[in-house]
């Protein structure tokens, strides 16, 4: 499973990339606004840090405008993946962009039927938001399993990008389900490394070593 960081914070991306484990980055308008800087400049900087897919979202809601915006985003760097919302106009734009060889991440997916339509439109990946489904007492991970089954049944090539991840267990469940990609905030990426028994075990080893006067 590929691991992406869901952020527009360049410092966080640099830190995650330093481990050599980061496969890509996803952004959205809310994350970009939070950073208070030029969207284009931020994308250019991120593309220099991470040699992998970088999702950049359009803010138009009409197909022609999305296509125009998407083409401009795609010109920034070969690794840019254009994000289009899963609305009728977004699927129209996805079909047109995909036909021109531009990778599209269809975002804000909340149902199997939406995911099926995204695949039929030629999406490079689809982003089901599991955390937001959990927030309304639905089962986000069940949606991932359903989408993966549908895609397997019909040999759709669209990748399943597990998004809106709330905690490390979501990452585990995504991997167990066979999700192709999981994107997460930096704090959750950090949490993947941690376990209290690792910390206590290492402390004990080092304490024993020092107690015997080892150098």
Q: Which CATH superfamily is domain 2-212 in?
A: Aldolase class I (3.20.20.70)
- What's the pLDDT at 212? 78
- What's the pLDDT at 118? 98
pLDDT digits (tens, 9 = 90+) for 13-36: 999 999 999 999 999 999 999 999
**For this structure, is 83 an active site residue?**
yes
Residues (pLDDT < 70) of the chain are 215
Question: Which backbone phi and psi does 196 adopt, to 5 degrees?
Answer: -60, -30
- What's the pLDDT at 213? 75
Q: Which residues contact 26 (CB under 8 A, 6 or more apart)?
A: 4, 5, 6, 54, 55, 83, 105, 127, 161, 163, 183
Question: Which backbone phi and psi does 79 adopt, to 5 degrees?
Answer: -90, 0
Q: Give 2's strand partners.
A: 181
Enumerate the domain spans of the chain.
2-212
pTM for the whole thing? 0.95
Token representation of residue 26: 């996803």
- What's the pLDDT at 215? 63
Q: Which of 34, 68, 71, 83 is catalytic?
A: 83
């Amino acid at each position: 499973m590929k691991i992406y960081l869901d952020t527009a914070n360049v410092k966080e991306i640099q830190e995650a990339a330093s481990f050599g484990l980061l496969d890509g980055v996803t952004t959205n308008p809310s994350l970009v606004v939070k950073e208070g800087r030029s969207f284009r400049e931020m994308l250019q900087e991120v593309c220099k840090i991470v040699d992998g897919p970088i999702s950049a979202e359009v803010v138009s809601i009409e197909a022609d405008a999305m296509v125009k915006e998407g083409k401009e985003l795609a010109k920034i760097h070969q690794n840019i993946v254009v994000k289009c919302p899963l609305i009728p106009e977004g699927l129209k734009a996805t079909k047109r962009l995909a036909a021109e060889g531009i990778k599209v991440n269809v975002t804000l997916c909340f149902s199997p039927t939406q995911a099926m339509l995204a695949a039929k439109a030629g999406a490079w990946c689809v982003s089901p938001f599991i955390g937001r489904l959990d927030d309304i007492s639905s089962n986000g991970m069940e949606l991932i399993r359903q989408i993966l089954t549908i895609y397997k049944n019909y040999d759709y090539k669209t990748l399943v990008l597990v998004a809106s991840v709330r905690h490390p267990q979501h990452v585990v469940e995504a991997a167990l389900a066979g999700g192709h990609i999981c994107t997460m905030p930096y704090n959750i990426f950090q949490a993947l490394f941690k376990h209290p028994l690792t910390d206590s075990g290492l402390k004990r080893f080092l304490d024993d070593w020092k107690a015997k006067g080892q150098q």
